[in-house]
Structure 1
């Protein structure tokens, strides 16, 4: 079976089943295992004066290790490969987590804060309903790129080794790719490689969201808003989602008690979104997913 055919089946299987609790309560998820490996390596290597070099060597080892693992898993045939691909895609679980924020926010602001705290790293204790909603929408857009489109893209290009390499790099970036005193040197390679691997998928994700709403009429504005983001990639899907829903997202927020004055994305949009906008963001993700699935099927046919 072709790579595109396997991916199409995996996308559908993930959309139907998501991440069944009955499995992952008994077995460690592959992404969790990657995280444990990276955490173990960081604890032993992130010390001394050669931290940047050691971080580069860690990423090289991860890339080579994931390539070898991908070749090994794919060797028996298409079925185990398809199951691994479905496990490492995260569309259904993303929808479930984001939609849960809207449902919780309808109950109370406190419930909304607790729900959104499960999917974002910023401070949530003092968020108002609009801030909870903006955070959920941002997470939906960014994770659609990181958790669905990017891994699928690299699977199409590099097969299972390509997908595993992307997931390992993305996991490493989420753990050590920070500009903090502890990680600035050691996590430099993880952050830069993650930026590189997400460059095309982030823009593709923005294109999918834009194309399923207002077409490309807003593309110039999306590109301008994306440039306001501190990340070279995350701003693209966020800007596209903000335009699709006509809401202002991003903006000021706090991390570890420190207020950060980030600019709004789509500053002219509505600044008081609510649970219905979270539902609309989930619908936008399904639209983008459907178009992407159709493109994968077309690739498989030709």
Structure 2
């Protein structure tokens, strides 16, 4: 049943994306989830036992998201609301649009490229040259393909809308409080670890989808370089994208004014990507999405 509902959800998201006219009038569900996380952060993240409070917050947020998903799924409407909710919580079209905007910005000027990439990455962008901007955009494409498309689809297939809602609230919490900062290192621990757990399988599936959709059947480079990433999951889609595009990703970059010397992923690839390579990454996003859609259709036919 979930596979049958996921097919129109994938198609609806790919067609509509996130229409500005709609979300200018109503709060996007991701925004509402963010408000819930912020409320928990403000109310609980103080005083003693912040680690334990963070666990309680994550359990409460996850349970609330699961129950809401279950209520929506129980409405007798032939799955229409589930399809709409799933489409809204998928991010294929919006991801491609944001990544392609970086290529368009770079073609206009270096300043426009920096402005566009600053919308999708958390690193310092003010001093980036064109190759650094391009790498950042391509890395974001690979990582968010997993977080924003494959993982939500996976959990919808496995656990229905409640599973998708649980994944999205966890991923939202991780992006907001799952950082190793003085304020959030203890309180956000549960969100970060649960997000790692929920993304473990989808991240590796994403790497396989990227590779197979590009007829890349040599797993050794991906297996070698994926563990080099500081994240236990993000390295897998990133390594696969680097290999199929023949571009070196990751490497040194600056956060909060401090340069960090991360290792290169697929060091053999080109280190001077530009708008053409960003466009190639957008094509890779669609090829991977197409394979995901095909597999979903096959599952629905069983």
- Please tell me the TM-score bracket, short chain as reference: over 0.9
Q: Distance in 2 between matches of 1:174 and 1:292?
A: 25
2:274 equivalent to 1:279 = no
Q: Distance in 2 between matches of 1:227 and 1:38?
A: 30
Tell me the residue number matched to 1:240.
Answer: 240
Tell me the residue number matched to 2:229.
Answer: 229
How far residue 215 of structure 1 moved from its aligned partner, in angstroms, is 2.4
The answer on whether the counterparts of 2:252 and 2:261 sit within 8 Å (CA) in structure 1 is: yes
Tell me the residue number matched to 2:214.
Answer: 213
Q: Distance in 2 between matches of 1:251 and 1:215?
A: 23
Tell me the residue number matched to 2:68.
Answer: 69
Question: Could you list the runs of 5+ residues in structure 1 that have no partner in the other structure?
Answer: none
How far residue 213 of structure 1 moved from its aligned partner, in angstroms, is 1.6
Question: Could you list the runs of 5+ residues in structure 2 that have no partner in the other structure?
Answer: none
Alignment of 1:101-250 (within 5 A): 101-217=102-218, 219-250=219-250
Count of matched residue pairs: 300
How far residue 189 of structure 1 moved from its aligned partner, in angstroms, is 0.4
TM superposition score normalised by structure 2: 0.98
The answer on whether the counterparts of 2:36 and 2:61 sit within 8 Å (CA) in structure 1 is: no
3-state SS in 2 of match to 1:178? coil
3-state SS in 2 of match to 1:227? helix
Tell me the residue number matched to 2:35.
Answer: 36
TM-align CA RMSD: 0.7
Tell me the residue number matched to 1:45.
Answer: 44
3-state SS in 1 of match to 2:181? coil
Tell me the residue number matched to 1:260.
Answer: 260
* Deviations 1:266-285, CA, capped at 9 Å, x for gaps: 11110000000000000001
Tell me the residue number matched to 2:2.
Answer: 3
Q: Distance in 2 between matches of 1:231 and 1:216?
A: 24
Q: Distance in 2 between matches of 1:79 and 1:233?
A: 32
Moved over 4 A (4+): none
Q: Distance in 2 between matches of 1:81 and 1:291?
A: 22
Q: Distance in 2 between matches of 1:215 and 1:255?
A: 33
Q: Distance in 1 between matches of 2:297 and 2:268?
A: 38
Tell me the residue number matched to 1:89.
Answer: 90
How far residue 129 of structure 1 moved from its aligned partner, in angstroms, is 0.1
* Deviations 1:123-172, CA, capped at 9 Å, x for gaps: 00000000000000000000000000000000001000000000000000
Q: Distance in 2 between matches of 1:64 and 1:38?
A: 13
Tell me the residue number matched to 1:55.
Answer: 54
How far residue 48 of structure 1 moved from its aligned partner, in angstroms, is 1.3
3-state SS in 1 of match to 2:230? coil
How far residue 109 of structure 1 moved from its aligned partner, in angstroms, is 0.7
